[in-house]
Structure 1
Amino acid sequence: MTDQAAIVMVHGLWMKRWTWSAYRWFFNSQGFRVYLFGYKTTKQPFERSAMKLAAFVNSRPESTVHLLVHSMGGLLAMQAMPNIIKTGKLLMLGSPVRGSQVARKLHRLGWHRRLLKHATSPLTTGVSQSQFKRPSLMIAGTSPVGLGRVIERQLGHGDGTVSVEETRAEWIDEHREVHTSHFGLLMNRQAMQLALDFLSPVMDSDESAL
């Protein structure tokens, strides 16, 4: 194993690994080893995707592997957590841990059969609690423009797809907000800096005095 910290980035619903391009470049430039995990967000059972994510994280050569996840990727990370043996932090961008109003609206309309498929259950249910603790930070967007608001007009204060309230949970250590949309979180410089501050190792007093 190596002492260099690594980050596994997990995309959200209907996304692909390339959506992390800005974060990958940013964290590579800061000395992190970055790995991108891809999965079939709607066409593969969620439990199978979670097992693949756990195996992917555990197979990294680094001893510390952080998880940086967007939207539904946060729900997948929580599903995978019981089988992850690597230590590290969990940083979520706009993850609807309390379930998604937009997903529930799609379910009521019957559109989930075509649009969500295997993602229906995790998105409508969310994560009620975390039994597998690691330091965690949620960054939520507050720009109201987004596709989700077209589907669910009563979405409330949020990033246009996920409301701020849907990103809150007692088991999350820190919660921050930035003025950007749900997909803007993947490119927002303020969010990147918050992520870097959270994932960077904390120097002890002897190191900081050097």
Structure 2
Amino acid sequence: MNARAGAREPVILVHGLWMPGFDMTLLRRRLQTQGYEGHVFRYASLRRTPRDNAVRLAAFAERFDTPLLHFVGHSLGGLVIRHLFDYQPQRPGRVVTLGTPHRPSHTAQLMYRAALLPLLGMSIDQGLIGGAPAWTGSHPLGSIAGTLGIGLGRLLPGLAKPNDGTVAAGETECPGMTDHLCLPVTHTGLLFSSTVAEQTATFLREGRFQHQGGNPPINANNGFACL
């Protein structure tokens, strides 16, 4: 799956909660410099459930008449992608999630208990507080976690360390994932870091991240550690 070997392979970027999609612009451009063709899928993160948005994502994906199709999701966007693969089989490709709480989000759970449901909307339905479809491993999935704990989570008690200020690194572990990587960036910073963009492109191309010291990919079934 080498985007540089011929025609550009399309990558669909799926934004997170509260975001309009413009936040994915820099990452999209950086992936394009790596030889990929980036396309942003915009959706109503509050008014529709992750499942409903996955159905719309499936229709969006059908626009691309290519043998390969990759997906990159930030935060809630990664859960929408999980729903997509549960809803409808996809053509070959790879998936990267950035700061996605594949396990129930502590921050979202606290907001829910504090009667801040309007701020979460329908994103909690089989989404941020748990219940997303299991990842079957049909496609390689790489998960990147941030470890620079600056953000909303600092105002809420009990968020495990390390974290990106919103999502704990442990929450980004997805059973069945291919590889996992921790980088010193914040939750929003995952979208603007050149290193994150480079590592995303590496996984899309090679099916694994470039670990410091040549560490092998980490199997989620055996656990992981943010070094």
Q: Distance in 1 between matches of 2:79 and 2:139?
A: 15
- Given the superposition, is the C-alpha separation of residues 140 and 126 from structure 1 closer, same or farther in structure 2, using an over 3 Å criterion? farther
What letter matches 2:39 in structure 1?
Y
- Given the superposition, is the C-alpha separation of residues 42 and 134 from structure 1 closer, same or farther in structure 2, using an over 3 Å criterion? same
1:7 aligns with 2:23: no
Identify the residue that residue 36 of structure 1 maps to in structure 2.
40
What letter matches 2:149 in structure 1?
P
- Superposed, 1:120-159 pairs within 5 Å as 120-121=124-125, 122-127=127-132, 129-131=134-136, 133-150=138-155, 152-157=156-161, 158-159=163-164
- Superposed, 1:60-79 pairs within 5 Å as 60-79=64-83
Identify the residue that residue 105 of structure 1 maps to in structure 2.
110
Would you say the 8 A contact 1:69–1:77 is kept in 2?
yes
Identify the residue that residue 200 of structure 2 maps to in structure 1.
195
Would you say the 8 A contact 2:10–2:70 is kept in 1?
yes
1:54 aligns with 2:58: yes
Give the TM-score of the pair, scaled to structure 1.
Answer: 0.89
SS at match of 2:128: helix
After TM superposition, which residue ranges in structure 1, 4 or more long, deviate above 6 angstroms?
none
1:167 aligns with 2:172: yes
Q: Distance in 1 between matches of 2:134 and 2:108?
A: 20
1:119 aligns with 2:123: yes
Q: Distance in 1 between matches of 2:131 and 2:98?
A: 15
Identify the residue that residue 205 of structure 1 maps to in structure 2.
none
Give the TM-score of the pair, scaled to structure 2.
Answer: 0.83
SS at match of 1:124: coil
Q: Aligned-residue CA RMSD in angstroms?
A: 1.7
Q: Distance in 1 between matches of 2:113 and 2:202?
A: 40
Would you say the 8 A contact 1:5–1:64 is kept in 2?
yes
SS at match of 1:200: helix
Identify the residue that residue 49 of structure 2 maps to in structure 1.
45
